[in-house]
Amino acid sequence: MSSSSVRALSAREIAAAVNGGASATKEVEAALARAKADTNNAILRVHHERALAAAKRIDVRIKAGEKLPLAGVPIAIKDNLCAEGIEVTAASKILKGYVAPYTATAVQRLEHAGAVVVATANMDEFAFGSSNETSAYGPVKNPVDPTRIPGGSSGGSAAAVAAGIVPISLGSDTGGSIRQPASLCGVVGMKPTYGMVSRYGLIAFGSSLDQIGPFATNVADAALCLERMSGWDQNDSTSAARNHAGLAQFASGNSFGTLKGLKIGYVPEHAKGLQNEVGAQLEKAKQALTDAGATLVPVAMPHEQYAVAIYYVLATGEAASNLSRFDGVRFGHRTAEAGTLPEMYAKSRAEGFGREAKRRIMLGTYVLSTGYYDAYYKKAQQVRRLMCRDYEQAYAKCDVILGPVSPTTAFKFGEKLSDPLQMYLSDIFTIAANLAGVPAISVPFGADAKGLPIGLQVQGAQFADDLVLRVAAGLEQLNRA
Amino acid sequence: MSITEQDVRHLCKLSSLALSDAEMSRMAGELEAIVGYVKQLQAVDTTGVEPIANVAGLVNVTRPDVPGQMLDQRQVLANAPAKNDVAILVPKAVER
């Protein structure tokens, strides 16, 4: 099945129809049926009762004269986002059976705008992975070519949109976990500026890096979803109190404006080591942007080469701390062989966590431990600051930075699973945006000779999310031309 | 320097993870490779560079200490693997 053979669902079209009197219940029923018929293991759970009850409420509100920006739009959420009454497991055995007692702010805001959660999407366990092969529920298949990985860690969310099950899904991105699967599955995926979207109700991985973001079939839908989710939340002290008027403007229509006069930065070193077709598409995009009136500006990012190394120190350190809450006491798996209390903790965790989760906990504990903290953790924090300065200097010269998302198109199952370091290096172009907290989007731009999708990345300065979306929309139009 | 199985045993203790011997010996090699890779950071001159913990520049965000609506006892106990009507049960924590 190729990505072009499925109906490209549009959230805005569905919302317009429902606001115009079409039945939200029918839209949701259709999405529930598609989710149930999923053949890619993208969907872990389908929420019939909850979704139909929500759809009915929307039908009543619309009949009463209300207009809702996402009226009746079915969505899937990654298995690390809480929605009250729904099982959420982070695709880990350690959380099997856990039912969320509250709803994540991002999900709650979309529901308030009329969206309906129809399904939970598969993912790498605790978002630890770039291929969706570490899920306790088995890997997700790429809808474009089921012999290949969909990318990760939000592989199920990307595949659910690519397969036409839902027009919008939510993922989380700590080092590329939205953008890389979006690129490999041929859909739009965005990691907003750190602080744009509240992380309340997101199962934490790396708290200084995590950000919730949308997958969509088109840039305008992603903008609409982001606009609805973003804003300050008293339950997340790192959420930003900002006015997102620019986003609202994009979300309201198709007027993305012109690319004329924009300064598009690029990092010359990014061209090295790319699959030929990925490099060719990047060059094609640069030419098309120039033809559309933008100016290309080479920028230097001397510390970006250290991004993966910084990340696997800081992200694992934060993960080791965050995952200490899973101890078999208040929730989650508890061993049947408990002796003493410390034995109960250690056995419950060993039985509940998968291999990659254990590896990252151990690595994170190592870099935080006495004797190694200064050499690894503090050092990584210092180089992270240098990398942030690279970005600041770059954005003094350009408006956005264009580059690759993934060095290659979707790879085969098992290809990188046995070598953790090779797997980590597949995030080489996406990690820097998380370390710097800047917005970044993957937008489809052509395919390789096998028909596998290629995504290009647009990054911006902190809180220039609207500008990033504007350039992405420009690329989307140029790709169609 | 290399990461020995003894180091891994110590890390298991620090992380509260009861790994099998086979897991521990595999882990030593895997950690060794990753730590070897991240060592490239040592080459960067960071003299006088202040470490950065969060990109938003936030320091100690506080709010007024006002009681609010939280989960009730029933909700808190709902997900506990071992409990009675009022409490979560754990193995004996203190030896007499």
Is residue A79, in this structure, part of any structural domain at all? yes
Tokens 């880990």 map to which residue? Answer: A92
Asked if A316 and A168 sit in the same domain, the reply is no
Cα–Cα distance for residue pair A266/A282, rounded to 1 Å: 10
Q: Which residues of A touch B31 (CB under 8 A)?
A: 359, 362-363, 366
Name which of B55, B77, B88 to mutate to probe chain A: the one with the most chain A Cβ atoms within 10 A of its Cβ: B55
Helices (H), A125-218: 155-162, 179-185
Asked if A473 and A330 sit in the same domain, the reply is no
Assess whether pLDDT exceeds 60 at residue A405: yes
Q: In terms of C-beta density within 10 A (0-12 exposed, 13-18 middle, 19 or more buried), how is residue A26 classed? A: middle
Q: What number is the average pLDDT over the span B17-44?
A: 94
Q: How confident is the model at residue B1 (pLDDT cuts 50, 70, 90)?
A: low
| Contact of A142 with A178, CB cutoff 8 Å | no
Using a CB–CB cutoff of 8 Å, tell me whether A102 touches chain B. yes
Domain end marker among A381, A415, A442? A381
Assess whether pLDDT exceeds 90 at residue A420: no
- For A174-301, list the strands marked E by DSSP: 188-191, 211-216, 263-266, 295-298
Asked if A222 and A339 sit in the same domain, the reply is no
Q: Which residues of B touch A322 (CB under 8 A)?
A: none
Q: Who has greater pLDDT, A204 or B96?
A: A204
Is residue A31, in this structure, part of any structural domain at all? yes
Residue B94's pLDDT is 81
User: Which percentage of chain A shows pLDDT scores above 70?
Assistant: 97
- Cα distance from A450 to chain B (closest Cα, Å)? 33
Asked if A431 and A339 sit in the same domain, the reply is no
Name which of A208, A337, A366 to mutate to probe chain B: the one with the most chain B Cβ atoms within 10 A of its Cβ: A366
- Backbone dihedral angles phi then psi of residue A179, each to the nearest 5 degrees: -70, -40
Asked if A308 and A427 sit in the same domain, the reply is no
Domain end marker among A319, A353, A381? A381
Encoded amino acid at A31, one letter: A
B residues 22-51 lying closer than 8 A (beta carbon) to A? 23, 27, 30-31, 33-35, 37-38, 40-42, 44, 46, 49-51
Reported pTM: 0.96
Q: Which residues of B touch A313 (CB under 8 A)?
A: 38, 41
Asked if A356 and A412 sit in the same domain, the reply is no
Which domain range does residue A28 map to?
Answer: 3-261+400-480
Total number of domains constituting chain A: 2
Tokens 């956005």 map to which residue? Answer: A400
Asked if A420 and A471 sit in the same domain, the reply is yes
A residues 48-77 lying closer than 8 A (beta carbon) to B? none
User: Which percentage of chain A shows pLDDT scores above 90?
Assistant: 90
Q: Which of A181, A203, A180, A178 is nearest to A191 (CA)?
A: A178
Tokens of B19: 């790994």
Tokens of A368: 């935080």
Using a CB–CB cutoff of 8 Å, tell me whether A327 touches chain B. yes
The domain that holds A109 is classified in CATH as 3.90.1300.10
Is residue A160, in this structure, part of any structural domain at all? yes
Which of A234, A358, A437 is closest, CB to CB, to B19?
A: A358
Say if the Cβ atoms of B50 and A385 lie within 8 Å. Answer: yes
Out of A28-37, A288-297, A335-344, which region has the weakest mean confidence (pLDDT)?
Answer: A335-344
DSSP state of A306: G
| Contact of B6 with A396, CB cutoff 8 Å | no
Which domain range does residue B36 map to?
Answer: 5-43
Say if the Cβ atoms of A365 and B14 lie within 8 Å. Answer: yes
Is residue B39, in this structure, part of any structural domain at all? yes
Q: Which residues of A touch B22 (CB under 8 A)?
A: none
Q: How confident is the model at residue A358 (pLDDT cuts 50, 70, 90)?
A: very high
- Cα distance from B77 to chain A (closest Cα, Å)? 7
Residue A337's pLDDT is 86
Cα–Cα distance for residue pair A350/A92, rounded to 1 Å: 12
Q: What number is the average pLDDT over the span A88-98?
A: 98
The domain that holds B38 is classified in CATH as 1.10.20
Q: Which residues of B touch A344 (CB under 8 A)?
A: 90-91
Q: Which residues of A touch B1 (CB under 8 A)?
A: none
Using a CB–CB cutoff of 8 Å, tell me whether A376 touches chain B. yes
Q: How many CB atoms lie within 10 A of CB B41?
A: 19
Asked if A312 and A249 sit in the same domain, the reply is no
Assess whether pLDDT exceeds 80 at residue B54: yes
Total number of domains constituting chain B: 1
Q: Which residues of A are catalytic?
A: 78, 153, 177
What lies within 8 Å, CB to CB, of A68 at 6+ separation is A15, A18, A19, A58, A61, A62, A113, A114
Residue A4's pLDDT is 42
- Cα distance from B18 to chain A (closest Cα, Å)? 5
Which of A344, A361, A383 is closest, CB to CB, to B44?
A: A383
Using a CB–CB cutoff of 8 Å, tell me whether B12 touches chain A. yes
Residue A186's pLDDT is 98
Say if the Cβ atoms of B11 and A324 lie within 8 Å. Answer: no
Say if the Cβ atoms of B58 and A237 lie within 8 Å. Answer: yes
Q: Which residues of B touch A87 (CB under 8 A)?
A: none
Assess whether pLDDT exceeds 50 at residue A3: no
Asked if A211 and A340 sit in the same domain, the reply is no
A residues 172-211 lying closer than 8 A (beta carbon) to B? 194-195, 208
Q: What number is the average pLDDT over the span A447-466?
A: 97
Using a CB–CB cutoff of 8 Å, tell me whether A407 touches chain B. no
Assess whether pLDDT exceeds 50 at residue A135: yes
Pairing of strands A116-121, A188-191: unpaired
Assess whether pLDDT exceeds 70 at residue A436: yes
Is residue A281, in this structure, part of any structural domain at all? no
Tokens of A236: 């997340």
